[in-house]
Chains A and B, each alone.
Chain A
Amino acid sequence: MKLKKFVKTRDEKFGEVIFDTLKEKVFVTNETGKDIVDLLQQGYSSENIVRSLSDLYNKEPAEIQNDILSFIDSLKNNSLIEV
């Protein structure tokens, strides 16, 4: 998975802005969303993102899995990433 060609991101104090410049739509997300997008950009699979963030946040994977997968789904539903 990776961000689509005309999708740009920029760090902000609250997290991150995700800008689909082709559709001219802007999304904002918090620090956790930013971490997920960063890992997606590095080529991590959903499973590896869950694993990596469970280490980072010191939480059980089961605790955070649903939130992470739901966030990735919202990226897909808004056509921000391609598989």
Chain B
Amino acid sequence: MVAVIALWCVAALAIVAASATILGRLAVGTPIIYAGSLVASLVALAAALAHLLDPHAAVATLTLPIGVPWLGTHFRIDPLSAFFLIVTNLGGAAASLYALGYGRHEAAPLRVLPYFPAYLAGMNLVVLADDAFTFLVAWEFMSLASWALVLADHRAPENARAAFIYLVMASFGTLCLLLAFGLLAGPEGGYVFATIRDSHPQPVIASLVLLLVLVGAGSKAGLVPLHVWLPLAHPAAPSHVSALMSGVMTKVAVYGFIRIIFDLVGELAWWHSLIVLALAGLTTVLGVLYALMQHDLKRLLAYHTVENIGIIYIGLGLALAFKANGIDWAAALALTAGLFHVLNHSIFKSLLFFGAGAVLTATHERDMERLGGLIHTMPKTAFAFLIGCIAISALPPLNGFVSEWLTFQAILVSPQLPQWGLKLMVPSVGALLALSAALAAACFVKAFGVTFLGRSRSHAAQTAKEVDRFSLSAMFILATLCLLAGVLPGVVIDILAPVTQSLVGSVVPKHAGPPWFSIVPIAESRSSYNGMIILLFLVISGWLTALFIHRFATRATRRSAIWDCGYPDPSTATQYSSSSFAMPIRRVFGTTVFDVHERIDMPRPGEMRAGNFQLKVFDPAWRMVYGPLTRLVDTAANRLNALQFLTIRSYLTLTFSALIVLLIVVAAWS
């Protein structure tokens, strides 16, 4: 039943996409398309939520006789896909609602409208797919639809470059997944997931599959060093699409990883988790450090997605480690932490991209160095964005803190792991996670402080107008969800229970309901957290304080000029800017982590020319990984170029010898 509904929603999205090619030419087309996407997403969201909440829900499967003749097209909704359907369609619905307002400013609607519902349909199909063929087709469809959206503003040369890099990375990722499925299916070609699930792969195959999936799904999710396309492509798209790419598509990639590794491969050795944890820890810290160095608001958010993907993968890696050692309850805890963060990140990252989009609409500016003071001109956007900033910085009482807290709890039970490798790896990852949590707060003080606070650095920022009601309502709905998931985390944990039950065979104890919505992941004496009580305490103590002040002290207030130690400077350029805010951290980590090129040209005393300071921060992944890689490809291409100018005899000889070699390989293999 639920599979049918979900597929009808996908079909509806496809129809909307097709009709957009015609409707997009009309002025009324834009709202119709987005309203259609909104309804389809909401229906799918409701169906998935009902399925996951229903304790008697069976796994729903559906086979359509289309696609590859001997295979058909298989769909399946189990708790894992139901959860990711929720994440996908929540993001999709919010983005559609936002776009009802935001989409009106689109210069060339036909470059966005057909691809947007298609993109949503593609992401839904990935989550629904139950055979390798459907999965890969849907995956590629999702990639291509988003690629088209990245190119929506195709005249900017940096967008063309971003789209090209994205296309290369996405194709490479899909290739890796293709090979992974090929290995899993084996020589018999059992491409249906059920068959793969029953055939327990050899350890060597499992290891290869893990590596391939880490590259394939990891490049889509943004694991360091495969993240380089992400901060280029995500900001290039229109903001509601950026929100989907950062908030939802990276989660679909995480889904791909969980589906293949936890569900299809099933049994992995403990050292596999070492690889995942090492990559995750690295991703977490590098992601936030690079985010701190950005002054383009959307690029900052995109880089920060990399950090959050790292946090999610820390949870997944820990779950793998616990699962390999048979400590199921701890695996359930770690997996719950990771999945909770999946939900959280999809909510607040979408919210933040919506906010960035609102700023872009109002000021036509993404560069934070030219913004400032928007809290006065766009108070509602500022408030919603602030909620997102608090949530993503993992501060109580909002939701980001809960998932990080759960991850910390999972790390703290890991001394139970017997292997030495893990005993050394897990605390290192814990230290990196602690570091990234604090850096994230610095990053979002900068993002909010430079963009929304202070004095306006440009005319555009000074004269900005608050955005429309649709955009605002989308932002406020997501902000409310941030608060709700933060104060009632038990509800989310309970929703996740069937997912962890199906994947690692254990659940975190039930939480919803009394006593007082407290969450207790392991035992009462061990750790507990109650977001609701904390929020209540904060409200009461803040209120008491205000009451005391107003009752027993004075409320007298006077407005006056800025003091600034007696030397206020009227120029807005003397404020702390984005790069000056990040300077101390750049100095601290600069030598080890970044490629920082600073050029200071200071006139000597008496010289009348202006001083000059230039700063360029490069992502060292380009230098360390992709530079050598492109050089290697170039060299190989140059060498192979010689093959282009041979005689017909040489070509025949080459073909023949290739055939012989292949036959020998096949003979040796079997």
Decide if A and B are genuine partners: no
Binding site for A on B (CB under 8 A): none
Binding site for B on A (CB under 8 A): none
